[in-house]
Structure 1
Amino acid sequence: MSDSATKESSSAAPRSAGGARILLDGVTKLYPGQSVPAVDNVTLEIPAGEIVMLVGPSGCGKTTTMKMINRLIEPTSGRILIGDDDVTHRNPDELRRHIGYVIQGAGLFPHLTVGDNIAIVPRLLKWDKKRTAERVDELLDLVSLEPGKYRDRYPRELSGGQQQRIGVARALAADPPVLLMDEPFGAVDPITRQRLQDELLRLQDELRKTIVFVTHDFDEAVKLGDRIAILQVGSKIVQYDTPEQILAHPADDFVSDFVGHGAALKQLTLTRVRDVELHEAAVAHVGDDPAAAVKAARDRDREHVIVLDAHERPQRWLSITELQQPNSLSQVTLDENLESVSLASTLNDALDEMLTSSHGVVVVTGRRNTYQGVIRIETLMGAMAGLQSAARSAESLP
């Protein structure tokens, strides 16, 4: 077993109840005055604990399909089962308190603090104050935001990426088995979007919720999805399969056109950082002896060390020169621009981070954002060269 796998397996066991199967059985939505259904007789089974991506052109009904699961839109006919429970017969308000829902822009209440935003559903469910407060702090820690630092802030004091993390935390507050995500990362910049995607994959590795995720971005679907449903107008499912199968064997010309050119090269987005060799950097911890950190760097012939906090979370790089300053490790603040990827990140993500790194490596994190090692540019380029060669060979086959 690799060092990274060993570290990952030693992390705390998930505490969540996990996901539940979803079955849409002959679901139709016909709006009054319309002759053509917006969603027409859709049958789709979503396995428990998987991320299923709904993708397709504008107006194909993917968002309508998803919103019928928590009955923000009422189906005209058909059954929707979560586990063995037909939710079309449940009180819709009570149902929504047990289904997480994340929208673009997070949708936080601006007049409530971060803690109060996260606590909305637990309070509706009549949780006591102690249990609610503990859950708020647990979720802030889960999405890698220090509870003491962020609990009492207001949404306007947060970046767009931080707000979106709070939106995810709020959706998870009552530990729902199902999470619905409606283009949640579409309003942030590309770098923040990549990091939010990585954060979702990290959370899913720990929580194993059943996630239905609507996106218009096929590359996002390939990166995040265990399965992808490609829809045409009326929510007709043209192909429902794993990303690997859709890329290798598109069902028809519509799917081929939707995937776009260079489908073989998109296989690069299926290869994860955890699939390549990781290396160890020189490491120090906040509060360590700086002289020992300097020695660790020189023993590895390095000019920098990566500083970790008490929870093994990377904070920033410090050079040997900086470490020679008095009390250099007594208080170390987080570098918000620290180049890092998770074990679930793709090689393309790692390359993007590598291009802005001044250290020749990118830090790799695992569960709860704990340090796993570093990925080197040589390792990354060697892996990508091999994948590109295989992709070209595949494209040349008749």
Structure 2
Amino acid sequence: MSETTVQDQRTVSGVAIRLEGVTKRYPGQQKPAVDAVDLEIAAGETVMFVGPSGCGKTTLLKMLNRLIEPSGGKIFLGDEDVTGQDPDRLRRRIGYVIQAGGLFPHMTVGTNIGIVPGMLGWDKKKIAERTDELLDLVGLDPEVYRDRYPKELSGGQQQRVGVARALAADPPVLLMDEPFGAVDPITRQRLQDELLRIQEELGKTIVFVTHDFDEAVKLGDKIVVFDVGARVVQYDTPEAILAEPAEDYVADFVGAGATLKQLTLTRVADTELHTPITAQVGEDSAAVVARATEAGEQYVVVTDGRGRPVSWPSVAELSRTTSVPGTRDDRLPVVGLRSTLNDALDTMLAASQGGVVVTGRRDSVAGVLVVEQVMAAIQATRGETRG
């Protein structure tokens, strides 16, 4: 069912989704919870479902993998009508992520991730390799986390494992039901960035339910704004919805500050990054300090053997050591290339370096972004908005 292609330099391994008159009626209710929805989602796109509580968006999402059975209509994955297909078989071909990851507490991380591949008959060696590959993909060291239990993980780590498990059998479609709603704001931002990075690499078809319109703007290629009965009020790009709400209902749902929300459309990748002085753990500190001093740099980005940032010490701090230390800074200000300028600014506020380290594919260092660059980009965006 999944076919990998490359469109506009981007890998696409998802399939299109088409809904034709999809309806859900519950006994004793006069109006359907979901009323004859027609919708087409392109392969490889992330589409965000937003709308007030009780509008039917989660019900519609769950009908895509038949956790809730439709009362009528048809659902197509690619050209395949899955409406009458065995639901268990269907669910093994669709990734599903909920709040807190939905992990089985009595199973290790590795066992949790390998559940669906095991059901599909993969051999143990292949499952083990896939598990380690996915832990690496979601930014968790397999050697450290593979044999841990969910209770030994933070909320953000559990959610990363939940995403890894959903991707285990390489499904073309990923359904996400408010997956980041139960974590703190900083962790939520990091998980959003991680999802953007993963999607850039894999190109799945993602359907994502959220109550947070800012999250929808940040993550979505398209946004569907629903009213009661899952009526599609507007289905368009975040830019179009912010610029031209289809109805007053959409404008009210977007809320005040639509101009400021435009800033969330500007990505870190759209700005010119500064190339920092980097040093690997264990390097001779004197040589690194000399290199940074010659370049006029006050800080050095320390990386591990795979080019991932570990810390961002000042030249003065490094000069007091003989070799570059490998101690990981848990408060290291890091954002991804797909992070927004708002995210970058929020992260900078808690940093002493006056900027953030920017990471790209597989969390390797892509550059550094400083406050002055962000402010210049924001001024340019405001100028375009006024124009």
TM-score by length of 2: 0.95
Q: Deviations over 1:59-88 (max 9, x none)?
A: 000000000000000000100000111111
Find out whether 1:89 has 2:81 as its counterpart: no
Percent identity, please.
65
Task: Please report how far the alpha carbon of residue 296 of structure 1 lies from its aligned counterpart in structure 2 after TM superposition.
Answer: 1.6
SS at match of 2:101: coil
Aligned with 1:342 (options 336, 349, 362): 336
Structure 1 Cα separation of the partners of residues 113 and 103 of structure 2: 9
The answer on whether the counterparts of 2:283 and 2:323 sit within 8 Å (CA) in structure 1 is no
The answer to whether structure 1 residue 249 and structure 2 residue 249 are counterparts is no
- Cα distance in 2 for partners of 1:274, 1:176 equals 28
Q: Which amino acid aligns with 1:288?
A: E
2:126 matched to which residue of 1? 131
Q: Return the letter of the residue paired with 1:190.
A: P
Matches for 1:106-121 after TM superposition, within 5 Å: 106-121=101-116
Distance 2:315 2:40 in 1: 55
The partner residue of 1:370 within 349, 364, 369 is 364
1:245-394 equivalences under 5 Å are 245-325=240-320, 327-329=322-324, 332-391=326-385, 393=386
In the alignment, structure 2 segments of 5+ residues that lack a partner are 1-8
- In the TM superposition, what is the alpha-carbon distance from 1:251 to its structure 2 partner? 0.3
SS in structure 1 at match of 2:135: helix
Give SS of 1:386's match: helix
Letter in 1 for 2:46: I
Q: Where in structure 1 are there 5+ consecutive unaligned residues?
A: 1-12
How far apart in 1 are the matches of 2:119 and 2:131? 14
Residues 286, 322 of structure 2: 8 Å contact kept? no
Per the alignment, in what secondary structure is the counterpart of residue 234 of structure 1? helix
Offset from partner CA, 1:89-128 (integer Å, 9 cap, x none): 2110011011000001111111111111111111111110
Name the aligned partner's letter for residue 112 of structure 1.
M
The answer on whether the counterparts of 1:99 and 1:178 sit within 8 Å (CA) in structure 2 is yes
* Deviating more after overlay: 359-368 vs 169-178: 359-368
1:96 corresponds to which letter in structure 2? R
Amino acid at match of 2:294: D
Check the 8 A contact 1:17/1:177 in 2, yes or no.
Answer: no
* Alpha-carbon shift at residue 383 of structure 1 (Å): 1.0
Distance in 1 of aligned mates of 2:363 and 2:258: 32
Which residue number corresponds to residue 4 of structure 1? Answer: none
Separation (CA, whole Å) in 2 of partners of 1:229 and 1:325: 55
SS in structure 2 at match of 1:336: coil
Q: Distance in 1 between matches of 2:322 and 2:168?
A: 40
Shift of 1:289: 2.2
Equivalent-residue separation in structure 2 for 1:132 and 1:194 (angstroms): 30
Aligned residues: 379
In the alignment, is the contact (CA less than 8 A) between 1:17 and 1:175 conserved in 2?
no
Asked if the contact 1:106/1:166 (under 8 Å) is kept, the reply is yes
Deviations along 1:224-279, one digit per CA (max 9) or x if unpaired, are 00000000000000000000110111101000100112212211000000111100
On the 8 A contact 1:322/1:328 being kept in 2, the answer is no
- Residue number in structure 2 paired with 1:8: none
**Post-superposition offset of 1:17:** 7.0
Cα distance between partner residues in 1 of 2:144 and 2:327: 13
Task: Give the match's secondary structure for 2:83.
Answer: helix
Q: CA deviation at 1:354?
A: 1.0
User: Which amino acid in 1 is paired with 2:345?
Assistant: L
Partner Cα distance (1:120, 1:333) in 2:
35
Instruction: Indicate the SS of the match to 1:261.
Output: coil
Out of 31, 42, 54, which is 1:59 matched to? 54
Q: How does 1:47-196 map to 2 (within 5 A)?
A: 47-196=42-191
What CA distance in whole angstroms lies between the structure 2 residues aligned with 1:255 and 1:226?
18
On the 8 A contact 1:29/1:40 being kept in 2, the answer is yes
Alignment RMSD: 1.5
Question: C-alpha displacement at 1:325, in angstroms?
Answer: 4.6
Runs of 4+ in 1 over 6 A off after TM superposition: none
Equivalence for 1:231 = 226
